Structure 1
């Protein structure tokens, strides 16, 4: 999940440490075909978090369900994508709250 939120250090950050951009290559992620749709959907709704006093607590599922409807997903396909979204959401929350 960290690869989704990865950012390269700024020139100022690199200069402070005496490092170069080549020391921080972007992560390489190989995506299995069956994961493409859930990742695509998560990317589209990744700004739609429900937020509590301690920060993000979960995705706004009203938006997720709307996207699933727009995609025309029903039955087992819809349930599989939703299950994958929940896994991605949990990993994203872990990553967000570690920062």
Structure 2
């Protein structure tokens, strides 16, 4: 299924890129319910993506916003 392209504002590109890189780093509770990102993996992702350490706090805050929105979508999609 092809989806239409979305515009990513330049100020948000880094957060979207890192969020995409964490797509396999989700924690799940019983019965496959998503709980959230595995935060202990974020330093590895930040380093692999070349994110400067001074940007980590800002990026973490931005990722948490995206994580919350993603959780809402994933939970609402459950039958």
Q: Number of residues paired by the alignment?
A: 75
The residue number in structure 2 matching 1:74 is 53
**Match of 2:52, SS?**
coil
Which residue of the partner structure matches residue 33 of structure 1? 10
Superposed displacement of residue 72, structure 1: 4.1
Give the aligned partner of residue 51 of structure 1: 28
The one-character-per-residue Cα deviations of 1:43-83 (angstroms, maximum 9, x if unpaired) are 111111111125110101111121113324212x2111111
Alignment TM-score, normalising by the size of structure 1: 0.67
Structure 1 pair 64–88 and aligned structure 2 pair: CA distance change class (3 A) = same
CA RMSD of aligned residues (A): 1.7
Q: Please list every run of at least 4 consecutive aligned residues from structure 1 whose deviation after the TM superposition is greater than 4 angstroms.
A: none
| TM-score normalised by the chain length of structure 2 | 0.82
* Gapped regions of structure 1 (runs ≥ 5): 1-7, 9-24
